[in-house]
Structures are given as C-alpha cells and as structure tokens.
Amino acid sequence: MNDTFLFADESEPTEVVNHGHWKVLIVDDEPEVHTVTKLALSDFSFNNKSLEFISAYSGAQARELIAANPDTAIILLDVVMETDDAGLLVARHVREELKNDHVRIILRTGQPGQAPERQVIVNYDINDYKSKTELTAQKLFTVIMSSLRSYRDILSLEQSRKGLEKIINASIDLFSSHSMEQFIDGVLQQLTSILGSHENALLASSSMVAGNVRSDADPHDLVVFAGQGQFAKKEGKPVQEVLNTDLLAAFECALDSRSIVYRDNYLVAYCCSKFTHGSLLYISGLPGQISDNQKKLIELFAQNVQIAYENVQLQHEIEDTQREIVYRLSEAVEHRSVETGNHVRRVAFICYDLAKAYGLSEEEAERLMYASPLHDVGKVGIPDGILNKPAKLNGGEWEVMKTHAQIGYDILKDSKRVIIQAGAIIAQDHHEKWDGTGYPAGKKGEEIHIFGRIAALADVYDALRHRRCYKQAWSLEEVVANIVAESGRQFEPKLVELFQQRVERLEAILQKYPDDQD
C-alpha cells in the first residue's frame, strides 16, 4: 500500500460547526482499507457537514446497506471481492435495480488490469475510476470534495424539480380545496433549493384568506400555515407554541421592520400583503454566508411569492362572495314567507352530511351544499296569498304552488357557474318522488338527480322538525317514522337508511342553527 496515502501531512484542525453528515459507503474486502480511509478523512467537512462512514466487506453486504441507506452520498467501491466483478455488479445493481442516480460511485481497484478503465467507464454508470496505488490522502480528499459538490448539486436540482412540479400541479387545479397548501409547499421547496438548504422551513401568517382579517386584529398573532422538517405537522398552531425564544424574537424583528432578518444559519423573510398583516417565511440550515446576489434573489422571491398568495386569496374571495350571495338571496326568498331564517343553512349542511355518507366526492358534496339553498328560489314567482296561506291549499292554489320548481329551474338554468347549474337541478328535482308521483316532471328512481334526491329528504326533514304557518313542529320520533314510511315512495331507500344511521348528527345541525321563533 502506498505510504503517502497512509502518512500524508494533515492540515491544521479548524473548529467547524456541524450541521449534519454526508454518508460515505466504503466497500472493500480488506479491513485495513476501511481503517486508512476513515483516518485520512477523519477531519473532512463540506458545507459544515462531516462524513458518516458505513462499511461493507462484500458485494452482497454493499447491496443491502445501500438499499437501507438511499441517502448515501458516495460509494468508494472495490472491484474484486468475493468475485472478480463483485464491485461492478454492485454498481449495476445501484443504478438499474435500486434506480439510485444520485449517489456518486468511485471505483477503487488494486488490479487495474482486471477491470480496464475505458471498458468500465463505457459499460457502467460510475463517476470516477482510481487505482488504489494512486489514491494518496490528498487525492482522496480531492475526489471526495468534487463528488460531494456534484451530489449536493444533484440534490438541489431534484429539490427544485419537485418544487416546480408541485407548483405546476397546483396551477392546474387552482380551485381545489387544497391548492393553496400545495402551492405554498412547493414554494418552500423552491426557496430551500435556491439557498442550498434542506432542513427546516415554515410559513406563518395572520390569515391566508382574503376578507377574514379584522382591522383590529393583532399582526403578531401568527399561525403556521405550511412547514417542512420539524415544522411538517405544525400547521394551524400559533407560532408561540412551535418556536423558541430566539426564533420568536427574529420573527418579531422581521414583522416590525417589514424586512428580511438574517441569523447565523437561518433567515426570516417578511412578505407584504394587501389582505393580511403580513406573512413570514422561515428557512434554516443555510450553507454559510449568504451572498448579496442571494439576498437580492430572496427579496425578489418573497415579493413574488406574496403576489402568488394574493392571486389565490382573490380567487377564494370571489368564491366566498358567490356563496354568500347564494345564501343571502335564498334567505330573502324564505323571508317572503313567515317561516325561517336558517332553513336554507340547515338544509345545506344536512345535504353535505348525507352526500358524504352516500359516497359522493368532496367536490360533489361541497357543490351540493353550496347550491342547495337555491332549492326554493322559484317561490319568488308564487303570490303571497298562496305562499303564506295558513290553511290547506285548494286544488287550484296547489297547482300554482307546484310551479315554483319549474320557475326556479328556469331562473337558474342558463348560468355558466357550476354552483348555479347545480342549483337549477336541485330546484327542478327536489319535489320529484322515488316512485314517480312527484312534480314537475314525474321522474322516477335514478332519473331524479342525486342532488335532487338528497335535497328532497333534507328539505322535508328540516321542514317537519320546525313550525310553519300551516303546522306545528313535529317531534323527532314522528319525523323519523314519516320518512321511514316514505322509503321507496317519496325517498330513495338507501338515503332513508343513511338518514336513520345519522339522525343524531343531523339533529346537532338543527340545534346549531335554530330559527328565531324556536
């Protein structure tokens, strides 16, 4: 073995703050090679991370260890071990079987003729080829340093790719209920990638939904909105519960100065906003001193990120405004009668509960919930004398009353908005009956849209449980008995079964939103 490798001069030790380890897998059947390699690299540090050595003494053991440690940065791989090509088979296994393209493979051989360099480089995906006799301590230092730089850059690119993928996916489905969370998670990955940081990150905000910030709200009452690393499961918690004293002080400084605060190995960036009192981005594990160019990039990034937030917030504001208008118009229709103030709200939540139990998707259940308040919008076309008559309607009056289903459909049918379209369906179908005896079209069974079938049961249940101008409120026992008796006639049997199973949950909705007169 080359003496210069074993006894090369060592540099003066320097005190380094350690922020983790780079894993190095040594694969060689000679124990002394492991000992000498560890000795030569004992004080090695890159990006404030030392080396963590893992030893394998055969190709078979190497395959097990690399599978168990997929975050290995470098493999120092001997060629000839239990077989003449054991090392080459390990390299092929890592790339082709484990699909690990990140780890840097450095082939070390004491018998270069056994595995010619040109043939190995062409046929195997390795990153360097060295003869053991030429690997002095200095050359080993050099090859490890260059390999770690490559590995670091590969991780950074992969982190950036994942972040971009999340942002692109969020852009495709911006209106989904989780799009904002997915978008911000991608933003955090992008920023940590830009800075070469792969540790902890979080975004804290006073509010992430436009229109919800009170003028008297304290801008220092921040909650965690998204997180990585140690903050990955802290969403929704106040920052006072998840941050230590020093971090809280840095957050306060960034919020008060409306700027970016840099500390030894982390930063806190203030993001201004039209809709909130401001958001804060926290990134830790910074790789050394941040350059002026990086600081400019961070500042620009923080500004652009906030613009992206505000675009999503605006979309939420538009959707919330549409839903509120639906509720208020529906309640205005209800107030034409001497009935309820919360009927439409209760029906909405009852519909959502039954829809989820029925097996509808979250998107469908929410659409039904937001559209169901429009079920009786057609009553705007019914004269007050009929609508508020305290006695039973005569035949002619009943025929007029039944027209409200078609009137409601005609009012809503031409809208291009999905909630209004769903409202048109519900207005038309919520008085159809499972046995075909309903109105306005006499639809039967599954000819009736599922939204109409669910809204029908929710509407009847709520109406029977509350006082009306023509009747007193029924007891729960009376209502359940009536709905069960109508199974297969007025209502779909499956829905009646679900109603019976969930009646306690539905009663809780009635308790939460009572009528003023109750």
Report yes or no: 91 and 105 within 8 Å, Cβ to Cβ. yes
Report yes or no: 8 and 41 within 8 Å, Cβ to Cβ. no
Catalytic, 512? Answer: no
Sign of CA dihedral 28, 30, 31, 35: negative
Q: Out of 379, 402, 413, 494, which one is annotated catalytic? A: 379
CA distance 189 to 160: 7
Q: Under DSSP, is residue 205 helix (H, G, I), strand (E, B) or coil?
A: strand
Residues 6+ apart with CB under 8 A from 475: none
CA distance 27 to 5: 18
Angle at 353 between CA 486 and CA 358, to 5 degrees: 65
Report yes or no: 448 and 440 within 8 Å, Cβ to Cβ. no
| Consecutive H or E run containing 419 | helix 418-429
> Residue 414: what residue type?
D
Q: 81: number of CA atoms within 13 Å, CB side?
A: 24
C-alpha pair distances (Å), 61 with each of 26, 104, 457? 11, 18, 65
| Consecutive H or E run containing 268 | strand 266-271
Q: Under DSSP, is residue 337 helix (H, G, I), strand (E, B) or coil?
A: coil
Query: Considering only CA atoms, which of 370, 365, 368, 359 is closest in space to residue 497?
Result: 359
Residues labelled catalytic: 379
